[in-house]
Each structure stands twice: as structure tokens, then as C-alpha cells.
A and B are shown apart, each in its own frame.
Chain A
Amino acid sequence: MDAANEAGHAKAEAGKAARESAPDHAPAPNTPQFTKDEDLHAYHEMLLIRRFEEKAGQLYGMGLIGGFCHLYIGQEAVVIGMQMASVEGDQVITGYRDHGHMLACGMDAKGVMAELTGRRGGYSRGKGGSMHMFSREKQFFGGHGIVGAQVSLGTGLGFADAYRKNGKVSLTYMGDGAANQGQVYESFNMAQLWKLPVVYVIENNRYAMGTSVARASAQTDFSKRGISFGIPGEQVDGMDVRTVREAANRAIEHARSGEGPYILEMQTYRYRGHSMSDPAKYRTKDEVSKMRDEHDPIEMVRKRLIEAHGVPEAELKATDAKVREIVNDAAEFATHDPEPDPSELWTDILLEARA
């Protein structure tokens, strides 16, 4: 092990130790603070994802959602913190664990849930499913089922921004598993070579399906994955929406100003299995419950709202009720909306050529 790697390894280990030895998640002295409104916003947005995903899990269990269904529960602070730092017109693209990103982009919960149930009111009219949803209006470019493909595609979104000189930034998400794909490094190379406005967000939830980071990655500090291209990167506590947003501000500003890409390794955790059919043999129940009990991103905000911002419990309960209503309406719609018309089988294969 050379010195640089050793140092990196040491830093990663230190970060891990710090997280695990901080059951109260006492903020470090330099932890950025949110205003009450920011915390309220983050709480609402993250709770919407949490409740939505719980409902999706239920509907899956009832056989109303088919195929694969990858839930985002536990990782909510990542996408919400990133969105709080982005501006309208910035593009978002991710892999197959995409429900949270869509909700964070402002896509309608009904349309997302109806796509999960394969109904005509779904974002892809029932033809995409959980892993393949898009919204041109909300600048959400998917929703991609091939691990790592979204990284080259997201780099292409940044290429288009640079080509058009429109000042927008591509927020390109991937997991720790995707981060080992070859095309990720092809993309890093070109993004830095051409100074493309791309922020690569590596959501390190510690497991690529059932394989832990340590068993899959020679370099487990993902913030260093751009070093050979000269791309700056940092490790971020992805369970704290405040640290996420602060890092996102730095990264997005770097990309938007023409400095090129930036890598953020978000250290996070998924509570649920890889997909709904995960036997969960690769980690202990204690590990999962420890994360839930001590580092839950939503509970942290809730606690802050009550203790630091003095928000009455009743107000939070009202928020909870509002979120539940959105989710229940979405489930209601998604279970009663008709399936696509059979004629939809033959549509959207090719666009008509312009005259």
C-alpha cells in the first residue's frame, strides 16, 4: 500500500469510526445549521419518500407491484440535501433505486405509484416500471436499469449543458456498486477533460446487492475514485441532510463555474433489502437496527425541529398526516387506475420523422 492509499484508507476508517462511536449523532462543531423553514422542508420531503416507499413495499407484498422494486428507505437525506442545493433546470439522473429521486424532483406521487403498479396514469404510461421513469418537465432523466449506464448518460446531460452554455448542472447519481463499472471511469475522464458541469453523487449504502463494499472495492474511499483524473471529491455524512446540502453547494458551484466535475461520496445506508426479494443473509439485523435507531435522517430532523426550533409536536403530526394523505391518494389512484389500453403495446417505439 502506498502512502496516499494508506492515508486515504486511514481517513475512511476514521470516518467510519466516528460515525459508529457517535450514537447521539452529536454534530461536529462545524456542522452546518438549517433554519427552521429549511428543516421543516427537509422533514416534509424526506418523510414523503419514506412513507411512499413503505406504501410501495406494502403494495408489492399485495402483488400489486410486479418485477423488481428497490426501496430508498434510509437514504432520503442524500437526494433531498442535493435538491436543496440545486436550481431549476439542473438535471437529475440515477440508477434503478429511483423513487426517491423522482419525488425529490417534484414528480407527482400518483404518477410514480401508478407506474409501479403498471397503470396508464403512470409516468411511462405503464410501460417502464419501477426502474424506468422519466419526466422531461422536471428534468428527471431516469430511472436506468443497467448498473452504471446512467453515469455516461448523466455525463452526456452535462455535455449538452456545456454545448448549450446554459449554466445548468447534471446531478448524476450512482451506488457503490455502479462505481466499479468501467464506463464510470471513461465518463470521469471525459468530464474532466472537457470540464463538463457534472456532480457525481456516489450513494455508498455499503452493499452492492449483497456484496459489501469491502468485498467488492480495492479502494473503499469513493471520494478518491476521481484522483487519477484530477477530479476533486469528498466523503459526506449522507445521513445528515445538512452536511449533504453543504457539500452539494460546494460541488455544484464548482461544476457550474466551469471548473468541471466533482465527486461526492454520500455515506448512507439502506434499511431494506436490495430489492423486495432480498434474503438479507449478508448483514446482521443488529447492524440494520443500530443504523435505524441511531442515525435515522428523518428522526434527526424531527428531533431538531422539536428541540432546537421549538416546533410543537402537533405541527409535525399535521405534516405526518398530510404526507400520509398524499401517499394514500397515490396508492388509491395506482390501484384503481386502469391498465394501459392494449393499443399502447404498439405506441412510443419510434417518433414520427419531421416533415
Chain B
Amino acid sequence: MATDILMPALSPTMEEGKLAKWLKKEGDSVKSGDVLAEIETDKATMEVEAIDEGILAKILVEEGSEGVKVNTPIAIIAGEGEDVSAAASGGGRKPNGAGEPQPAPTPDMKAEGQAEKTASASKTSDDAPRAPAAPAVITNKAPAPVMEEYPSGTEMVTISVREALRDAMAEEMRSDDSVFVMGEEVAEYQGAYKITQGLLQEFGARRVVDTPITEHGFAGIAVGAAFTGLRPIVEFMTFNFAMQAIDHIINSAAKTLYMSGGQLGCPIVFRGPNGAAARVGAQHSHDYSAWYSNVPGLKVIAPYTAADAKGLLKAAIRDPNPVIFLENEILYGQTFPVPKLDDFVVPIGKAKVHRTGKDVTIVSFSIGMTYALKAAQALAEEGIEAEVIDLRTLRPMDTDTVVESVKKTGRCITVEEGFPQSGIGAEIVARLMVEAFDFLDAPVLRITGKDVPMPYAANLEKLALPNVAEVVEAAKAVCYR
């Protein structure tokens, strides 16, 4: 199908510009990355790149034209094997820019407002203007296959996140005597959430250490032990309690390698449930993802599936650096297929495309993925194909995978349970501004927990957390539907 090249915007406030120069002429074949044209405003110039292959079938706006409105079609690209002259005459073209271009929403646009607007627009006409295309071309490429970290055909077993975490620890403890686990109720009680079930029986009290209720103290003891080369796994009954220990996590564990000029590493894992469980109130429901992801010297992991929980925890235990491993209590009991391999390790720092799609990118992690995936399903029923990216690691953050997706979809929303200000979503937005600005067709919207301490009442708690409807609305809003 032929696609229009639209006049891109160089900034959120740009309304029109000059088409300074065409670098390709009609009949030229173009491929991804080719510079097609140069455009100018009073502030800047920019190259318009092709992001897919095809033939430049027709130039609609001559070079030197001034006052070209943003989103005006400036050229037509014929797809591979397509009749160029038919494409040039507009046959089979997407009615892209047939009407007035949608105004770019303002950054502080409310998702609800936009959703209402687009909903009413789509009621009036099925031929309502389509969302503006990406600055260069709309890709018609088939979605990239989801990459897995294990060979195809690997036998899968269905286990819970809880079992996956336990298996990861047990496997690493079997292969390395310097690995031990310590925390409250990890041994005789078998784990407050049964994550360490059976470890005491297999490894004994030397390596499965029940501590008093003394987070600050035992976190410091574990960090001191890690300075000598032991590999402690510190379980916090919840990361809310790690607030008592955060000085050792940040000041002692994260900074000492740097402050020692590289002499003193700290191979330690701090793990436990993070964020809201259910009906436990504000002091037991905090999501610390953004906090820890702020700190150089740490790695921060927040898995969603059992396979990632297992593979990433094994990687975390082997990592020579302090790793914050953020689990989620609600996910503990959920089951997922996990590859049946002797040593399944997932690399730290790689996001995963959990579901492919072409219309909008949804970026999430941990339990946020449950909203994202349900929303993607609902959106698919309405004809919107969402690509869902599971960050898995929050630091170092795999921006490339997100940017690649946004280059394809031109739209992005983020989903997390944490607070909005300075959150993971805010970080994604900032990075996309720098790394994918020219590919965005709408502001990136964030779905987050509400900016309030977690309430106890069931109805209020529900309101405080994100929900699938909010994700669907936001996705539609950025698609202008």
C-alpha cells in the first residue's frame, strides 16, 4: 500500500515550515535511513528520513515551498512491487491528511478528555481522520517476532513466580558456596511469602540465616560480608521495610566501588516484594522502582513472568554489583511457562517485546504488565494493535528496545503502579523526547498510581491504582481515537 510522507513537526509548537530541499527525486528507490528532504523553521533544520523501503512515487510539495503546514502530505511512497503510477495518482492511498490534521495534544492533556473527544469524533464518522503518520513513512513490515532467551523447542514447565524465585536461589546456592540468603523468617518459617521454602532443609542454617527484625543492621552486615567477596541474598519482607536499610543500600553498597577507586565491589542482591499488595495501607504499599533506579552503582530489576523472575534472579546473584530485585506479592502466585533448562539465565538490562503491534507502544514492568497486556487485548478488539514492552530491568534501562518500537508505532504510553512525579514513566518520556522525538505523533502519556498515599478502603485503593480502562483510554488518546 502506498503511504504519504507528511510534513513533520520539529517541536511541539511548530505549525508550519519550509520544505527546503528534496534529496531524492521521483522514481528513486529509497530504503530505511535514506534522507528524503530537508525542512526548515526559523529555529532549526531537520532531515526527513525514510524508515522503510519503496519508490518515491510522487512529490506533492516542491522544494522551496514556504508555510507548509505540519502533517501536510509532501510525497507518496509506493510499496515494493506496487504500481508506481497508480500510487502516484493516489489509488489505494491511506486517506492520510484528507481532513484537517489533528492538533497535537498539549503535554498536560488529560487522558479522559482526549478519549472523550476522540470517542465522539469516531461516532460521527467512520472516515474520521486517521492519526498522523510518523515523520517519514508508515511501516507495513510484519511485526518482529518476540525474541526468547532459550532455544525454540525447549520443554516448558508451568510454575509460579514464587517457585521460580526459590529455584533460582537454590540453583545458585548449589553451584556457589559463597551465596547465602538472610532475612526475617527466611529459614524456619520457610519465608514470610514462602519464597525460601525448603532452602533451610537443603542448605542448613549457615547459609539460610534467620535474622532478628532489624533491617538496618542486617543490611549493613550483609554489605560488609559482600565487601569480602561473599554473595549475600538479602530478603526484605517487603521493600517498605528496606527504608530502614536504605542508607546501607545506597551509601554503603552502591557507592563503595566508586569511592574505593574500583577496589571494593559489593556482589549482593536485595530482594523482596515491592509496591502494593492488597488492603495493607500506605506504609506497606509503596513502589520504590523509581527511587532505586535513580542511583548509579545499582542495578534494578523488576520482572513480570516466572521465567524472567528465575532467569534474572540467577543473573542478579552472579552479578558482581549490588542488585535491587523488586518482586510483587500479587504476582507470586501467578503461573507462567518456564524453560526446563539446567541453567536458564536472562541477561540484565534487556527489555522484552512481550506482544508485537504496530499502532501504539505500551511500556511497563512488573505488575504493570498485567494492565498493559489486558489493555492490549481490549485494544485489539477495537482494531488497535498495541506493542507491549516489558522493561524487566529498570537500571540499566534498555531504551533502545523502546525507541525501536516507537519508531514503528509513533505513539507510546507507560504503565506503572508507582507515583507519577519523577517515576519510571517520566524517565521513559524524557528519553523518548531525546531519542525518538521525530518519530512521535503524540505526546507520551503516563498511566501511574495516583499521587496519593495508598488508602486502605477497598474502593479508594482501587481508585489509587492504575486500571485497564485507563490504559485503553490513554492508548486511544495517543492514537487520536
Contacts and interface: CB of A to CB of B under 8 A. Distances in A.
A152 B249 CA distance: 12
Contact of A152 (B180, B216, B229): B216
Contacts of B153: none
B43 interface: no
Given A153-B220, A189-B212, A124 B260 contact: yes
B203 interface: no
Which of A155, A160, A347 has the most chain B CB atoms inside 10 A of its CB? A160
A348 B257 contact: yes
A349 interface: yes
A93 B227 CA distance: 11
Given A134-B256, A149-B251, A154-B224, A124 B297 contact: no
B257 A160 contact: no
Contacts of B228: 91, 156-157, 160
A350 interface: yes
A153 B227 contact: yes
B222 interface: yes
Nearest to A188: B217
Contacts of B206: 163
A190 B217 contact: yes
A28 interface: no
B297 A350 contact: yes
Contact of B180 (A163, A189, A351, A354): A163
B259 A128 contact: yes
B348 interface: yes
Interface string A332-348: 00000000000000011
Interface stretch (B69-77, B313-321, B441-449): B313-321
B230 A348 contact: no
A123 B261 contact: yes
B263 A136 contact: yes
Contact of B247 (A141, A149, A151, A158): A149
A146 B251 contact: yes
Interface string A109-123: 000000000000011
B67 interface: no
Contact of B221 (A182, A187, A354): A187
B263 A152 contact: no
Interface string A93-130: 10000000000000000000000000000111111100
B225 interface: yes
A185 to B, nearest CB: 8
A111 to B, nearest CB: 10
A64 interface: no
Interface in B240-260: 247-248, 251-252, 256-260
A156 B319 contact: no
A101 B418 CA distance: 44
Interface of B: 180, 206, 211-212, 214, 216-230, 247-248, 251-252, 256-265, 296-297, 299, 315, 318-321, 348
24 contacts: A123-B263, A124-B259, A125-B261, A132-B260, A134-B263, A135-B263, A149-B251, A152-B219, A153-B252, A155-B217, A156-B223, A159-B222, A160-B224, A160-B228, A160-B230, A163-B225, A164-B230, A183-B220, A186-B214, A189-B214, A190-B214, A349-B257, A350-B297, A353-B315
Interface of A: 91, 93, 122-128, 132-136, 141-146, 149, 151-160, 163-164, 182-183, 186-187, 189-190, 193, 347-354
